[in-house]
Amino acid sequence: MAGRPSGRIGFRTRSEVEVMDDGFRWRKYGKKAVKSSPNLRNYYRCSAEGCGVKKRVERDRDDPLYVLTTYDGVHNHVTPGSTSSRAAPAYSAPTAPAWTWSELQAAAHSSESY
């Protein structure tokens, strides 16, 4: 399928920390070494009951000052800590330019730097 799969979005953010606060609570469920990258990839699931959103976090192999974060899915609940009872289900991600799925893959798996 061309383009970004439904519900998947990626960000490339300059950061000293790997996991940035995006307003949701996450449970780490794994990590693995990725081919052609010296950095580990970490895997998280949203910890809200019944929410199937997953997050993948890794350092950019070509520029370790940047973190690549990929969200897969859309939250089916409000952001934790939301005080509005009328709040709609939210999808909150770090404030950074969004990349298309193919751009994020290219940054993670090629020698090109963005």
What distance in Å separates the CA atoms of residue 4 and residue 68, rounded to the nearest whole number?
Answer: 16
**Residues 61-76: tens digit of each pLDDT:** 999 999 999 999 999 9
The model's pTM: 0.66
Report yes or no: 28 and 43 within 8 Å, Cβ to Cβ: yes
Place of tokens 């939250």: 75
Instruction: Check whether 96 has a pLDDT greater than 50.
Output: no
Identify the structural domains of the chain with CATH numbers, from first to last.
Answer: 8-109 (2.20.25.80)
Look at 94 and 43; give whichever has higher pLDDT: 43
**Residues 75-95: tens digit of each pLDDT:** 999 888 765 544 444 444 444
